[in-house]
Structure 1
Amino acid sequence: MSRIISFSTADQADVLAFLGAAGSLTQEQQRLVGYMREDAHAHQADLDRQGLDWGLSVPDALEHLLADHADSSALGAGNAYYSAFQHIIDANASDPSELGVYSMPSTFFGLMDQELHRLGVSSELLPHGFLFAGLPASVPFPIPCPRDGAPDIGMLALAKAKPAAEAYRAVLDRIPLRRRAVDGTAGVRARGVAGQPGHRVVHAGHDLLLDQRRGRTGGTRRLARLRACF
Structure 2
Amino acid sequence: MATVYHGTPVTPAPALDAVSGRSFCVSYYRPDSVEAVEAMAPHIMYDNGAFSFWMQAVRAGIDPIEAGRSDWTPYYNWLAGRLYEAGRWAVIPDRPAAPSQINDGLLNDWPYGRSRGAPVWRMDGPLDRLARLCERYDRVCLGWIGDPKREPVGCDAYRRRMDEVAALLGNYWHPLHMLRGVAVGGDYPFVSCDSTSLAQNHHRYRLRLFAGTPDEWSGVRAYADKLERMAA
Structure 2 length normalisation: TM-score? 0.26
Higher relative contact order (Cα pairs below 8 Å, separated by 6+ residues): 1
Structure 1 length normalisation: TM-score? 0.26
